[in-house]
């Protein structure tokens, strides 16, 4: 195993690049009327994201936009407004377009009852009739909140991918992060969906949590192999206590150091590759027969707010509180607070708050950064042809910044390829092409650490 002490110098604040420009660049200069015009002109296939934001209690590591409640009326009220939002969308979008992807995220989608989930699904299908035969229909699930009735509703309505939140099986870590979830509980939840024919199951893990060690995380991985998921997402914990109050509960002295985190990530790659999984992008692993692995091989892997996907070339519509949509040259985000969200809908408007219209430079850099993040290589000639530029001239300053990472790259006239070690620093490498990061000081605490 490498000596990662030297890598600590690369630990700096940086984006995860689920978008470019990143969400911190979204602004109110992008107007509602502009957004409507874009939606009316779209003609690509559709990807639908529904944000279901409620959780019963806080997981202290969580950076999601969540509302903690046990009130049944809160969920019913939210569904009422989601239905209204769908009705408004129906009057704007060309709803005959093919839906190739739909995802329920949270929060905890299965905090909603089976009856509520079915009402939501039926409402969606009453608006969007044209789901493709191979549509990816997925749901994030907290194994602590899943019963047979919910599993029945999801599977009978065409859900074919499930993502289970696990994070870590170590009891000390679970207690510290305020998420007690036994191996047996997770195993039983997995059985519920497997027995109903779900063939694609992902499990989320997080490294960098309090009290984690290489040894303890190894034990978690060994238990994961028993469960035999089809995919794994192994995320670097984003410690941003200035943004998320729950994270302030952690004693920062208990967090693993950057070199320990890199050891864990390297071990994950080697351990999982020996056991039938291959690394996909910077934080996903998939079995060799999985379509993510095939997409990586042929260069068609894409990255968006849901992580890595094979469904590129679709217009993403974000529905619900704080949801983000994406098109060819825009991002749009809904209101983050419930009163503003509800008020907009009551006025007959989409709950759009902010976003960004991409200019030429944004679109070019987005293509470069997303290729690097998704496929660990950049086809220079392809970029030159698509955007009619001379790469070395346009990115002259960026290539100078890239020299810091030359030991982790193979560069020639046609390609920039990230080597095996460079994969661990892919966020740093992508940042070299980020025009906005050049104007953000290291002291400005906006992003989590890259390492």
Residue numbers in the known binding site for S-adenosyl-L-methionine are: 49, 61-63, 106-108, 140, 167, 179, 204, 238, 324
- Reduced to 3 states (helix: H, G, I; strand: E, B; else coil), residue 137 is strand
Residue 284: helix, strand or coil by DSSP? strand
Residues contributing to the annotated binding site for [4Fe-4S] cluster: 55, 59, 62
- Exposed/middle/buried for residue 85 (C-beta within 10 Å: 0-12, 13-18, 19+): buried
Q: How far is CA 186 from the centre of its chain?
A: 22
Burial degree of 277 (CB within 10 A; 0-12, 13-18, 19+): buried
Q: Comparing C-alpha atoms, which of 139, 143, 134, 97 is closest to residue 120?
A: 139
| Distance (Å, whole) CA 133 – CA 139 | 18
In contact, 244 and 177? CB cutoff 8 Å = no
Distance, in Å, from the CA atom of 295 to the CA atom of 375, rounded to the nearest integer, reads 9
Residue stretches of the annotated binding site: 49, 55, 59, 61-63, 106-108, 140, 167, 179, 204, 238, 324
Q: Which two tokens stand for residue 412?
A: 């020639």
Tokens of 417: 């390829």
Q: Which are the contacts of 373, defined by CB distance < 8 A and separation ≥ 6?
A: 17, 281, 282, 303, 426, 430
* DSSP-assigned beta bridge partners for residue 277: 287
Q: Three-state SS for 449? A: strand
């Amino acid at each position: 195993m490498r000596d990662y002490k030297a890598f600590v110098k690369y630990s700096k604040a940086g984006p995860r690049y689920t978008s470019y420009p990143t969400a911190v660049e979204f602004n109110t200069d992008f107007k509602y009327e502009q957004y409507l015009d874009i939606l009316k002109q779209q003609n690509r296939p559709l990807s639908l994201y529904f944000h279901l934001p409620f959780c019963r209690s806080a997981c202290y590591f969580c950076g999601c936009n969540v509302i903690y409640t046990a009130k049944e009326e809160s969920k019913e009220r939210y569904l009422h407004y989601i239905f209204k939002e769908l009705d408004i969308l129906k009057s704007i979008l060309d709803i005959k377009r093919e839906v190739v992807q739909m995802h329920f995220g949270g929060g905890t989608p299965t905090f909603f009852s089976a009856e509520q989930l079915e009402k939501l699904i039926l409402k969606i299908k009453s608006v969007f009739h044209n789901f493709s035969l191979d549509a990816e229909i997925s749901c994030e699930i907290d194994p602590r909140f899943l019963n047979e009735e919910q599993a029945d509703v999801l599977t009978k309505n065409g859900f074919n991918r499930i993502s289970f939140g696990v994070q870590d099986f170590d009891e000390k870590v679970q207690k510290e992060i305020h998420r007690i979830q036994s191996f047996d509980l997770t195993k039983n939840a997995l059985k519920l969906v497997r027995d109903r024919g779900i063939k694609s199951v992902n499990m989320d893990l997080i490294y960098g949590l309090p009290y984690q060690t290489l040894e303890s995380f190894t034990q978690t991985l060994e238990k994961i192999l028993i469960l035999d998921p089809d995919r794994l997402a192994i995320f670097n914990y984003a410690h941003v206590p200035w943004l998320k109050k729950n994270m302030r509960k952690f004693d920062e002295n208990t967090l693993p150091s950057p070199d320990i985190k890199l050891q864990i990530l390297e071990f994950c790659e080697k351990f999982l590759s020996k056991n039938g999984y291959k690394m996909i992008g910077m934080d996903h692993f998939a079995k060799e027969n999985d379509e993510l692995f095939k997409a990586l091989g042929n260069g068609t892997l894409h990255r968006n707010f849901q992580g890595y996907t094979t469904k590129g070339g679709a217009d993403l519509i974000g529905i619900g509180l704080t949801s983000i949509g994406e098109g060819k040259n825009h991002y749009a985000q809904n209101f983050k607070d419930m009163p503003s969200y509800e008020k907009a809908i009551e006025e007959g408007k989409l709950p759009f708050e902010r976003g960004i219209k991409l200019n030429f430079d944004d679109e070019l850099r987005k293509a470069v950064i997303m290729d690097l993040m998704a496929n660990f290589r950049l086809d220079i000639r392809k970029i030159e042809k698509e955007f009619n530029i001379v790469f070395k001239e346009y990115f002259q300053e960026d290539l100078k910044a890239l020299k810091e990472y030359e030991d982790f790259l193979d560069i020639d006239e046609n390609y920039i390829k990230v080597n095996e070690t460079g994969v661990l620093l892919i966020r740093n490498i992508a940042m070299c092409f980020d025009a906005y990061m050049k104007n953000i000081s290291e002291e400005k605490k906006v992003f989590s650490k890259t390492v």
